[in-house]
Structure 1
């Protein structure tokens, strides 16, 4: 495995996705400012939520798109430069985990900056956003990372199926990905409704959810590797 662990590939992917994430944070911060303005003037109900929760709704979708784009942007590029499919796979898996950790760290730090900025305008940070313990936020941080990484792997899977097979198998992969997203929501305690059918969220501890999502991510990584290890790369 070590000969396929290319630090340059990991570094290039990480830097590129970090650039993409700037747009994500820019959009989220703009929306956050608008929410605070609306909350200040009493035009937004209910009261604004913690930035980490706010970000948790956007980061997984961003990583899902990154996973799909990984296939169509970098697979041929690295193959043309003489790198193996395993190098591409290992680099993508590690770099994606690194970028989710980075997004998570930034998302944990931004509420501190947010509180300082609000205090400059004489706005007190709502008490209901501060009641959780340090241990809770560490657990939630880990859950945030694993959830976002799972979405990347799901997007990667969809991209690989579309790239390797015909479009109808890609549609099936998209449906399967949708089922996995529903499953993730249920595991994280959210109720999912599809065509009037309700799937109640499970009442699991954060630690239990992390373990289940880790196992699910590992399984999807294996499937992705099986798809890419002998994939026919489409050259120009």
Structure 2
């Protein structure tokens, strides 16, 4: 009898595959940043800040794609449970590695371009009563900490943000895979609520202003906000496990 493959091995395989995508993504981002440095007359963000924003969308996309690893693993005798736990491990490792790689690239960028001024932009949008606009800003303008002010906090915040977006992407992809278009659209609405809550709790924890549309979260005490961030991240994890537990394998 073949020995069952542990979820740690599945996690390593998933991390390896997604890390290759990530290196391509970061390579493209480096090229984009070089073009901006060469052709922009104004001061621009560092690579780290550029990656901080772009990685939210990147992790959302590969999170959506990650459900399509499920048929491959199940067909090769790996349980849905081991796929689920393996991808949790892979996504956590990826969320830690991306900020570290971005920081290393930024250091190299600073050495190579030491003759240029490097500025850190603290983009805090003006309060907007436009609900849809506030949702998009929650996705693109997540709370940020200057890496020069507090490197560990900045890296940690980067990791939490992109891990959250990976989970949201994975949840949406799983919902479309398991429940079809209508179910997938319903879970997009749920995912937007999770993003808004996560972003708002982080803003409270970091003492950043809330968007006016989400001022209802002002009632949350600052001492509880960070705890609620981790609790809200458990919601997509629970829902993904629920949806993948008996998910049919589509060939």
Cα distance change of structure 1 residues 175 and 209 upon mapping to structure 2, 3 Å threshold: same
Query: Displacement of 1:133 after TM fit?
Result: 7.2
Post-superposition CA distance 1:184-229 (Å, at most 9, x none): 3333437787xxx743597999996653322211222112111111
SS where residue 35 of structure 1 aligns? helix
**Take 2:223 and 2:147, find their aligned partners in 1: how far apart are those partners?**
15
**Take 1:152 and 1:219, find their aligned partners in 2: how far apart are those partners?**
13
Q: What's 1:11 paired with?
A: 12
Q: 2:234 aligns with which of 210, 218, 224?
A: 218
Q: TM-score, normalised by structure 2?
A: 0.76
Cα distance change of structure 1 residues 143 and 132 upon mapping to structure 2, 3 Å threshold: closer
Q: 1:89 aligns with which of 84, 91, 95?
A: 84
Q: What's 2:151 paired with?
A: 137
Query: Displacement of 1:165 after TM fit?
Result: 1.1
SS where residue 116 of structure 2 aligns? coil
**Take 2:31 and 2:221, find their aligned partners in 1: how far apart are those partners?**
33
Q: What's 1:123 paired with?
A: 116
Structure 1 stretches lacking a partner, 5+ long: none
Cα distance change of structure 1 residues 209 and 144 upon mapping to structure 2, 3 Å threshold: farther
> Is residue 27 from structure 1 mapped to residue 20 from structure 2 by the alignment?
no
Post-superposition CA distance 1:69-88 (Å, at most 9, x none): 1112x100000001111000
C-alpha RMSD over aligned residues: 3.1
Post-superposition CA distance 1:22-66 (Å, at most 9, x none): 221122112211222244xx2x3xx32243222111112111111
Post-superposition CA distance 1:145-176 (Å, at most 9, x none): 11111111111111111111121111111122
Cα distance change of structure 1 residues 126 and 231 upon mapping to structure 2, 3 Å threshold: closer
Give the conservation status (yes or no) of the 8 Å contact 1:150–1:213: no
Give the conservation status (yes or no) of the 8 Å contact 1:182–1:192: no
The alignment of Structure 1 onto Structure 2 pairs a total of residues equal to 221
**Take 2:67 and 2:120, find their aligned partners in 1: how far apart are those partners?**
44
Q: TM-score, normalised by structure 1?
A: 0.80
Give the conservation status (yes or no) of the 8 Å contact 2:19–2:94: yes
